């Protein structure tokens, strides 16, 4: 039986462009970088508050990277989806879908990483004490961070 999930891997063609996206757009921490015994260039990232790592791999010997549509994605929680969207767009990565309110009161959106992998952003409905706050509780505020 497995003990725990350690990491997930995404293979890319342009390692440095992808590393820049994960660090500068998503704000992930680069935890290590090395070359594998077979020659793969590997960079590992971790999101704040997470233990599971994301491995970004460049290995030209495997042929071209072909990212299929709607096969896989990573999902990250954000505090303020509007602020994230502005930040990502200012770095050349506008939202590819959303923001979309969900039935639970959360808001989701997507942005595409450089190789075409889809990244989901989730802004959970905010709670004050044991009470969920909805937009009408915020005086009609346009700020999504008030959900």
Which has more confidence, 139 or 126? 126
Q: Using the predicted structure, report yes or no on whether residue 145 has a pLDDT greater than 80.
A: no
Residue 87 class from Cβ within 10 Å (0-12 exposed, 13-18 middle, 19+ buried)? middle
19 with 26: CB under 8 angstroms? no
The structure's pTM equals 0.80
Q: CATH number of the domain at 7-59, out of 3.10.180.10, 3.40.50.1980, 3.20.20.10, 3.90.1200.10?
A: 3.10.180.10
Cα distance between residue 4 and residue 77, in whole Å: 21
Res 30: pLDDT: 96
Domain parsing of the chain, residue ranges: 7-59, 68-147
Tell me the pLDDT band of 63, cut-offs 50, 70 and 90. Answer: confident
Domain range 68-147, CATH architecture? Roll (3.10)
Cα distance between residue 85 and residue 37, in whole Å: 39
Indicate if 68-147 has the same CATH topology as 7-59.
Answer: yes
Beta strands in the chain (DSSP E): 7-11, 29-35, 41-46, 53-58, 73-77, 95-101, 107-112, 118-123, 127-128, 131-132
DSSP run (H or E) holding 88: helix 81-90
Residues with a catalytic annotation lie at: 120
Per-residue pLDDT of 102-112, as tens digits, reads 999 999 999 99
């Amino acid at each position: 039986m497995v003990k725990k999930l350690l990491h997930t891997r995404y293979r890319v063609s342009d390692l440095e462009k992808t590393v820049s996206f994960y660090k500068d757009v998503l704000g992930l921490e680069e935890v290590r970088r090395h070359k594998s015994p077979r020659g793969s260039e590997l960079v590992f990232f971790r999101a704040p508050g997470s233990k599971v790592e994301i491995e970004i791999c460049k290995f030209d010997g495997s042929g071209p990277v072909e990212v299929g549509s709607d096969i896989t994605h990573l999902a990250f929680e954000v505090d303020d989806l509007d602020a994230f969207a502005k930040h990502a767009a200012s770095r050349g990565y506008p939202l590819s879908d959303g923001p979309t309110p969900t039935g639970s009161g959360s808001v989701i959106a997507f942005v595409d990483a450089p190789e075409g992998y889809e990244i989901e952003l989730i802004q959970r409905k905010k709670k004050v004490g044991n009470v969920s706050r909805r937009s009408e509780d915020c005086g009609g505020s346009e700020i999504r961070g008030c959900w």
